[in-house]
Structures are given as C-alpha cells and as structure tokens.
Amino acid sequence: GIQVEQSPPDLILQEGANSTLRCNFSDSVNNLQWFHQNPWGQLINLFYIPSGTKQNGRLSATTVATERYSLLYISSSQTTDSGVYFCAVGRNTGFQKLVFGTGTRLLVSP
C-alpha cells in the first residue's frame, strides 16, 4: 500500500518563528489532507490539497503531486499552534480511506 512519511518528527520553536513541515508519499493520490491534532485529541482540518497551493491566515500549504510531496508552512507561530500535525492521503476518487503519516509533533514555547 501507499506509504506516507512526515518530517521532521519533532519540532521546537520559539513563538514568532516560521516552520515548514514536509509530507512525502509513495504513489499518486487524489486526496491529501493536513490536520492539526490539538492537546485534547481532536483532529482539526487545515487543508484539503491534493494539488496546488492554498493559504489560510498564517498557514499555507503546497502539494506537488507529480513529485509526490506536500509542504505545510506555519508563519509567526503561536503557542496555540502546538500539537501534532498529520498528513493523510487517499488514492481513489470518491469514497476512500485515508492513509496517515506518523505526524510532526510541534511545540511552540513563549
């Protein structure tokens, strides 16, 4: 099956710093989502981005489908950005399961 790798596994930042999280996947995909798992375990949708670039406030994401990777950019990080960031991909169109990466654990200190 498809493999999803995320890097770095852990990241510690000072408040205000910028960061880039990477997601590599082993095969072509029709679905790619980025999630933030907050300290209470809730998965929050950040981006649905099987290709192209999107921005939402301080966050932006780019997926280069032909090269099988996606990047999540966090600018001017805040302590509330702390948590685990997951990339998940799906190969099919329509109904499909997501395959998750192992996540990047981010800690933003004041």
The site for other proteins (CB under 8 A) is made up of: 30-31, 33, 35, 40-43, 45, 48, 86, 88, 90, 93-100, 102-103
Q: How far is the CB of 17 from other proteins (least distance, A)?
A: 27
Q: How far is the CB of 27 from other proteins (least distance, A)?
A: 16
Output phi, psi for 5, to 5 deg.
-120, 135
Our CB check for other proteins shows the closer of 73 and 100 to be 100
Q: How far is the CB of 86 from other proteins (least distance, A)?
A: 7
Our CB check for other proteins shows the closer of 11 and 35 to be 35
Q: Are 102 and 24 in contact, with CB atoms under 8 Å apart?
A: no
d(CA 5, CA 7): 7
50 token code pair: 């099987």
Alpha-carbon separation of residue 81 from 17, 42, 47, 72 (angstroms): 11, 13, 15, 13
Q: How far is the CB of 73 from other proteins (least distance, A)?
A: 20
| Tokens 């960031």, located at residue | 85
Our CB check for other proteins shows the closer of 4 and 13 to be 4
Our CB check for other proteins shows the closer of 56 and 93 to be 93
What is the distance of C-alpha 8 from the center of its chain?
11
